[in-house]
Amino acid sequence: MEKQNEIHLNTHPKGITPLFLTEMWERLSYYGMRALLVLYLVNSLGFSDADAGAVYAFYTSFVYLTPVFGGYLTDRFFSYRFSIYLGSFLMLCGHISLAFSGIYFFYLGLVLLALGNGFFKPNMSTIFGRLYDEKPNLRDSGFTIFYMGINLGGLLGPIICGSLGERVDWHLGFLSAGVGMAMGMIVFYFGSRRLPESIWLKQNHKVNSVHPSSVDPKTKSKILLIVLLSFFSIFFWMAFEQMGTSLNLFALRNTDRYLFGFEIPASVLQSINPLFILLLGPIVSLIWTTLSKKNQNPNPVLKFVLSLVLLGIGFLVMVVAAGYAETGVSVSILFLVFVYFWNTLSELCLSPVGLSFVSQMAPTQYASLLMGIWFLSNAFGHYAAGILSGYQNQWGSMKNFYGFFVICSFFGAFVLYAIYSLKKKSILGLLKSKEEDKTILTS
């Protein structure tokens, strides 16, 4: 019996497959559209870099802002299933709107995509996290697998949508993203039926009528820890999201994209990062799982620190590439490959870990709202990324521009580690108590 329990605790739940595939198709549509966004604005609509950066900033920030409201409405009024279906339908309508010519259809499409994402994203992450309520030791590795689904879509989206958009017709590229969203809805409809009913149930709020969690000091501390890591994730997203803006334009204007006599579309290079995720994700997941069995798995705070250090290294490579580009030379595509390699390692230490941490630490009755708070920090980071990218020419040189992200990344890592060192005992106590809570609930 003990051996059977051990096997049970060290195997991932079967329900991850339909959620993995649903997320894959939805992310194919998102990243396919995102790969085209700035290039379409600059090349087809004649936007300046600053104006294109501003549109990118507002759109991507609202994509991560709306989950706060979508999470709140779900916690209070809607079921998880309803919110996921509603979000999927709104995003499908958004992609269809982008497939039509005209600036009004364009902006309507962006609004629908942002609103739909607000209902879809926090609830998908919450439901996935609840699959691991009985297996908290596998939560980080599970979210890394989930993250591979995100990035499989991120790999295919720019290749399919980017190639069609740049080579054939921009609106056909946007329409192909809508097909991906439709496929995600179909997969979820059939796949969600096989998920355990327990993950769809919400906690009875009457349980908290005597001791409201909103005034519980322990719960407040857990929420503050979520807010702390959410804040430092802004440093990450502000730099990382240059991939869709300044690095996308760098690929278009300053990179030699010819390979075997064929010029690779700039948007297709957006697939390098998700390709690395798929290659490195299983390795990182295995590392977390192996360390967990030995009780040596770094806690989420230390993983965040490591993430920011790796991010800074990636932008150091970009500083070198910018130096060559400023001499008028089209730089080798290998520079972007190395930048995305380091950025990917950084991403694997932060983004899936953050999703796992919030789903684990958040009180059940506030799960979707606090997942929305996590995405709110993403919104701030994406907004800053877009605005900064539009004004990169005003930094004196591209080296100065990319050097700024090196400084911010290393500075963020230093400050977060300093806070962790000062509050190590209380932070470790919160993390340990949460694991004990899960053990009590599942025993």
Model confidence pLDDT, tens digit, residues 34-86: 889 989 998 888 898 889 989 999 998 888 888 888 888 888 888 888 999 99
- Can you give the pLDDT at residue 375? 77
In this predicted structure, the answer to whether residue 220 has a pLDDT above a threshold of 80 is no
135 or 400, greater pLDDT: 400
Question: Looking at 27-41, 241-255, 321-335, 390-404, which range is the least confident one?
Answer: 390-404
Residue 208 has pLDDT above 60, yes or no: no
Average pLDDT over residues 378-387: 90
Q: Is the pLDDT of residue 255 over 50?
A: yes
Per-residue model confidence as pLDDT tens digits over 420-430: 999 888 878 77
Domains of the chain: 16-202+215-442 (1.20.1250.20)
Q: Do the Cβ atoms of 113 and 63 come closer than 8 Å?
A: yes
260 phi/psi in degrees, rounded to 5: 55, 40
User: According to the model, what pLDDT value does residue 237 have?
Assistant: 94
Residue 227: per-residue pLDDT: 86
> Residue 401: is its pLDDT beyond 70?
yes
pLDDT at position 332 over 90: yes
Which whole number is the average pLDDT over 372-379? 82
Average per-residue pLDDT for the chain: 84
The pLDDT value given to residue 368 = 67
What residues contact residue 343 under an 8 Å CB cut-off, 6+ apart? 240, 243, 273, 310, 311, 314
Q: Residue range 393-405: average pLDDT?
A: 88
The per-residue pLDDT for 214 is 47
- The pLDDT value recorded for residue 205 is 44
Residue 210 pLDDT grade (very low, low, confident, very high; cuts 50, 70, 90): very low
Reading the block at residue 336, the tokens are 């972007």
Q: How far apart are CA 30 and CA 60, in angstroms?
A: 10
Task: Note the pLDDT of residue 134.
Answer: 72
Q: What confidence score (pLDDT) does residue 203 get?
A: 55
What is the pLDDT, as a whole number, of residue 138? Answer: 76
pLDDT at 87 over 90: yes
User: What pLDDT shows up at residue 440?
Assistant: 33
Return the closest-CA partner of residue 238 out of 83, 57, 114.
57
pLDDT at 219: 75
Sign of CA pseudo-dihedral 156, 162, 165, 168: negative
Rounded to whole angstroms, the Cα distance separating 223 from 211 reads 17
What's the average model confidence in pLDDT over 157-186? 92
Distance CA 311, CA 237 (A): 10
Please report, to the nearest 10 degrees, the dihedral formed by the alpha carbons of residues 22, 24, 29, 32 taken in order.
180
- Per the CB < 8 A criterion, the answer to whether 324 and 398 are in contact is no
* 3-state SS record for the chain: CHHHHHHHHCCCCCCHHHHHHHHHHHHHHHHHHHHHHHHHHHHCCCCCHHHHHHHHHHHHHHHHHHHHHHHHHHHHCCCHHHHHHHHHHHHHHHHHHHCCCCHHHHHHHHHHHHHHHHHHHHHHHHHHHHCCCCCHHHHHHHHHHHHHHHHHHHHHHHHHHHHHHHHCCHHHHHHHHHHHHHHHHHHHHHHHHHCCHHHHCCCCHHHHCCCCHHHCHHHHHHHHHHHHHHHHHHHHHHHHHHHHCHHHHHHHHHEECEECCEECCHHHHHHHHHHHHHHHHHHHHHHHHHHHHCCCCCCHHHHHHHHHHHHHHHHHHHHHHHHHHCCCCCEEHHHHHHHHHHHHHHHHHHHHHHHHHHHHHCCHHHHHHHHHHHHHHHHHHHHHHHHHHHCHHHHCCHHHHHHHHHHHHHHHHHHHHHHHHHCHHHHHHHHHHHHHHHHHHHC
pLDDT of residue 239: 95
